[in-house]
Amino acid sequence: MRLSLRRQLLLLALIALVLPWAAWQALVQMENLLRQGQQQALEASGEAVARSLALRPALLPPAAPSLPVHALAASPRLDGDVSDWGDVASPLETEAALPGVRFAVGHYNERRLVFIAVDDVTPQRGEAHWPGDLAIDAVLLELDTSLGQMRLKLAARADGSTRAAAADGSAAPVLAEGGWRETADGYAVELALPQGLSLDALRIIRRDADGGGGVTESASPRFALYRPSPRLQRELGALLPDDVRAVVVDGRGWALAADGALRADAAGDDVLSWRRLLYRAMLDAAELEAFAAEASPLRDDRAERLAAAQGRVESRWRRDPQGTRLILSSAVPVRVDGEVRAVLRLDRSNAEALLLADRAAAHLLGLTLLAFLASGGVAFLFATRLSQRIRRLRDAAEQALDRSGEVRRFEVSAARDEIGDLSRSFSQLLDEIAAYTSYLRSLSSKLSHELQTPLAIVRSSLDNLDLAALPADARPYVARARDGVERMGQLVRTMSEATRIEHAIAAAEHEAFDLARLLADVGEGYRDVLAPRRLRLDGIEAPCLFHGAPELLVQALDKLIDNARGFTPDDGEIGIALKRGTRELMIEVRNTGPKLPEAMRHRLFDSLVSLRDRSRGADGAVHLGFGLHVVKLVAAAHGGIAEADNLEDGSGVVLRLRLPLRRAPGGEGARS
């Protein structure tokens, strides 16, 4: 990842963040200490209230196992559907000794009602009044009533109303009506005892027939039934401290009494909004769970209540999703004779802690943030000025050389610092590069001029030796010397030609012309030269208006065709293609033959680089690798590039000229 100097200095300035971070940590620590103090105080209040309630055991549920008798808001229909029992139905009671059975006990208008849902995967239905021990699914209820103990049997063959029978199928001692309903998981039965019949204890026995004549039984313990005492709520309200909400629940989580209310979250009136958001962010960072209402208003299934039911004092902090405050819940067991008879849960908000933390931290956070912003602003301004100076130096360095290699004027900084020294060093270096470039540009013409005379002397001397009577064994050496002279002469001529071509390219005039027509014309002229090789022309059917130097492009195309002819076998094929894009044109010359070595792909267009044999070719010419360099110069003169690659199928090589589309000075478009 590339970072500018300004960003690096800005990151360095972020070290000043340690100041607000330290203040933040102090604020968090202070808030934690305040919450710990609130938690200890609330737990102490809860234990005091729990001891007071334990002195009134008659107001508490009986010793376990026990079940509450819920007061129903309306008389339910006896149809085996518990939905009309209201909040009592979510969730129903379960018992580990009675797997697959869910139940509840209620009362309405002094009439006791029992609901039982059974999971049954092997239904074997029958009627409760059938005598004998028939292998059918049934539910037995052992009841302690005001008329004494009795045992009722509930079973039915199909949905509908039913009556309880005695355990042996005979008539029941009381008229108990109910409803039976088949469910997706088994069956459900709803039973109503006669009005005025009190119910003190209950035991549920399930009989499950397996269809093969076998019957298994599972039974619950004998539950003592109770109804919450109205006095419990009055006693609870008298014991509660201010701004605390209290709930007393039994061992199964059913609410027995509730009183008190939380203090309203009025901190928003006393705390500025931005500091309120800051405090909320601190609470979110604490990763506390959000406060949520219980699934049933009649039952408490929170973790702290479950821990208190086991005899431990447990507290939990939760975020108020509607405000900034936290809600603290502390659950305390209510013990009578060492046994947990109920659980007291106290809820309290920490709105006071918000006000205290805000007053203590407002000045600290303000000062640290001000110091951070000041130091960061100064560092940012300094980094901006420094990066602007470096950017100007970079731009000047990038523009110091043009495409032709000419060194332009470099602006030197007058600053007396390291960047000023660097700009002056760049200027000195560019002056030396300009002098060396000028020397190199004139070197080829000087060498070609200076070497003409020595070559002429050597050539005339070799001619004189040919006229002399030389021994036969000396003539091969003379021939080799003549070859070397010819090669040196070709090199000198090539250097002179390179100088002329560079000057010609720089002086060439650009004009608008039809590039497709140009390729078609020169392509037809290549057919005889390339014979017996095949020539293929693609993409020249439609006109293609281009702004450039046509004579230079023809010269570059000559070099490309000559290169392709040198590597294409007699039965091979050479192709010329014109491809058009939205921003550039491509002239491709493809030929079948040997592949291009990977190491030469990016060096092929350099001067004096060639893949051909350095000796004379079949046409007698000496190849010095200058032709493709001319192609590169022509492409650069048009603002494009030259590149080489192997064909995708590996059958040969493709050389490309990528030329950008440009508009003519007179506004004439360069697109087709």
Asked whether the predicted pLDDT for residue 25 surpasses 60, the reply is: yes
| Residue 299 scores a pLDDT above 60 | yes
Q: Give the tokens for residue 251.
A: 């061992």
Residue 319 confidence (pLDDT): 77
Q: Is the pLDDT of residue 668 over 70?
A: no
Q: d(Cα 420, Cα 434) in Å, to the nearest integer?
A: 21
User: CB–CB of 512/670 below 8 Å?
Assistant: yes
Q: Find the range with the poorest average confidence among 76-80, 224-228, 266-270.
A: 266-270
Tell me the pLDDT of the chain averaged across its residues: 82
Say which range, 335-344, 411-420, 428-437, 490-499, has the weakest mean pLDDT: 490-499
Give residue 349's pLDDT.
Answer: 83
Tell the burial category of 471 from Cβ atoms under 10 Å away from its Cβ (0-12, 13-18, 19+). exposed
Provide the strand spans (E) within 483-530.
Answer: 511-514
In order of 97, 283, 546, the CA distances from 549 in angstroms are: 100, 73, 9
Give the model's confidence band at 672: pLDDT under 50 very low, under 70 low, under 90 confident, else very high: very low
Average pLDDT over residues 17-37: 76
**pLDDT of 634:** 87
> Domains of the chain by range and CATH?
14-55+228-358 (3.30.450.20), 70-226 (2.60.40.1190), 418-501 (1.10.287), 508-660 (3.30.565.10)
Mean pLDDT of 415-434: 83
Quote the pLDDT of residue 3. 63
- Report how far Cα 490 is from the mean position of its chain's Cα atoms: 65
Q: Write out pLDDT tens, residues 122-170.
A: 999 999 988 766 789 999 999 999 999 999 999 999 999 999 999 988 9
Q: Using the structure block, give the residue that is written with the tokens 């070559």.
A: 455
Report for 207-221, 293-307, 395-409, 457-471: range of highest mean pLDDT: 207-221
Which pLDDT band holds residue 8 (cuts at 50, 70, 90)? Answer: low
Tell me the two tokens of residue 2: 């590339």
Mean pLDDT over residues 477-492, rounded? 77
Rounded to whole angstroms, the Cα distance separating 325 from 288 reads 12
Give percent of the chain with pLDDT exceeding 90.
40
User: What is the average per-residue pLDDT within 267-294?
Assistant: 58
Tens of pLDDT, residue by residue over 233-248, are 999 989 988 889 999 9
Q: Tell me: the pLDDT tens digits for 205-231? A: 999 998 787 899 999 999 999 999 999
- pTM of the predicted structure, to 2 decimals: 0.52
Say which range, 5-9, 167-171, 260-264, has the weakest mean pLDDT. Answer: 5-9
- Asked if residue 63 has pLDDT above 70, the reply is yes
When pLDDT is averaged across residues 525-529 and rounded to a whole number, the result is 86
Q: Could you tell me which residue, 222 or 323, shows the higher pLDDT? A: 222
Calpha distance 247→232 (Å, rounded)? 11
pLDDT of the residue at 669? 44
Cα within 13 Å of Cα(68), Cβ side: 24
